[in-house]
Amino acid sequence: MREVNLAALDLNLLVALKALLEERHVTRAAEKVGLSQPAMSRALGRLRVMFKDPLLVKGTSGMTLTARANDLYQPLQNILGEISQIITAPTFDPATAEGEIVIATRDYEMVSILPDAIKRISTEAPNLALRVVPLSGDDLSPLERQEFDFVVSGTDRSSSTLNRRIILKDNFICLASANNPVTKAELTLEKYLEMRHCVITISESRLGVVDTLLSQQGLKRKVGLRVPPYFLAASTLVAGSDLLITLPRRLGLQLTQQKKLVAMELPLKVPSFSIYLYWNIRNQNNPMHSWIRKKIRSEG
């Protein structure tokens, strides 16, 4: 089989060829693609050399196609259509979208942020499946390997392979069992340090923001229970104990609606924090990912 040098191929010649095959007239073909008549004549000459065939010949009622030209038309139409699809920016129709989107997060974000987002996505894209998987500590490497589509997390990390945006700002509040006497008065720093605490450990390699702030002041909490980042399970344990737990305010206030826990303001100034939506830069211009990013947003 003769090997063709594709690098030397001028795609404009294929556009001209399609016009010539459809119009069977040099002048009309030139007008169709915006060329002058001499330029189209030169293109036809180059095409005849390329295909080693006259392509258009004189017939009884004008120009007619050779057998080779007839055979070329359908493949040529297919190829130019595919090239057009490659160049044209892809579109996304949520109503017909299918597939699965994987979001890694923790239960705090899943309860506080994702319900509204999932409702929006499911309503507009009913055939698109969502899967929520647990996020391990602050590890974003699975997203860098594209094992997830998105990460929703308070992890504050810059990466050359990931993009992110803030979807929520929050601060902290302290919760105690509704039966705990500490809820009957204002929570002082002295009382806060005197009580035992349930501490949620996000990462074994670093202190949380509250303990870091206390450490800077030479202070330390009494840890009665240390748990992994299972915010809902931890709050259930506190509801039946004498422990205090410091949680993100958005989640904490939701939990007090069950009347088993009471919220108290922290007796120290703890900086607010951000919850980020992370995605791989490879998907920055993916129309489905772009649409979902717009749906995962804070409601205030």
77's tokens? 């139409």
Please give the pLDDT value at position 240. 87
Of the pLDDT bands very low, low, confident and very high (cuts 50, 70, 90), residue 219 is very high
Residue 239 scores a pLDDT above 80: yes
Share of the chain above pLDDT 70, in %: 95
Residue 4 scores a pLDDT above 80: no
CA distance between the termini of the chain: 66
Residues ≥6 apart with Cβ < 8 Å to 243: 176, 177, 195, 196, 197, 198, 224, 225, 237
Please give the pLDDT value at position 167. 92
Q: Are 292 and 276 in contact (CB under 8 A)?
A: no
Please give the pLDDT value at position 1. 43
H runs (alpha helix) in the chain? 11-23, 26-33, 37-51, 67-87, 107-112, 114-124, 141-144, 189-194, 209-216, 231-239, 249-255, 287-295
Residue 106 scores a pLDDT above 60: yes
232's tokens? 């809902």
Please give the pLDDT value at position 300. 41
pTM higher than the cut 0.85: no
Residue 89 scores a pLDDT above 80: no
Residue 196 scores a pLDDT above 50: yes
How big is the chain, counted in residues?
300
Report how far Cα 294 is from the mean position of its chain's Cα atoms: 9
Cβ neighbour number for residue 208 with a 10 Å cutoff: 17
Please give the pLDDT value at position 2. 53
Mean pLDDT within 113-123 = 92
Of the pLDDT bands very low, low, confident and very high (cuts 50, 70, 90), residue 223 is very high
Residues ≥6 apart with Cβ < 8 Å to 32: 19, 22, 23
Q: pLDDT of 31-72, one tens digit each?
A: 988 899 999 999 999 999 888 999 999 887 788 999 998 898
Cβ neighbour number for residue 148 with a 10 Å cutoff: 21
Mean per-residue pLDDT over the chain, rounded? 89
47's tokens? 């095409």
Q: Are 210 and 203 in contact (CB under 8 A)?
A: no
Go through 150-183 and write b for each residue having 16 or more CB atoms within 10 A of its CB, e for each that does not.
Answer: bbbbbbeeeeeebebeebbebebbbbbbeebebb
Which residues does residue 165 pair with via DSSP β-bridges, in sequence order? 277
Q: In the block, which residue shows the tokens 């007090």?
A: 256
Q: pLDDT of 129-144, one tens digit each?
A: 999 999 988 889 999 9
Measured between alpha carbons, how far is 125 from 113 in angstroms, rounded to an integer? 19
Mean pLDDT within 209-213 = 92
268's tokens? 């120290």
Measured between alpha carbons, how far is 291 from 285 in angstroms, rounded to an integer? 10
Domains along the sequence of the chain with CATH? 6-87 (1.10.10.10), 99-169+274-295 (3.40.190.10), 172-271 (3.40.190.10)
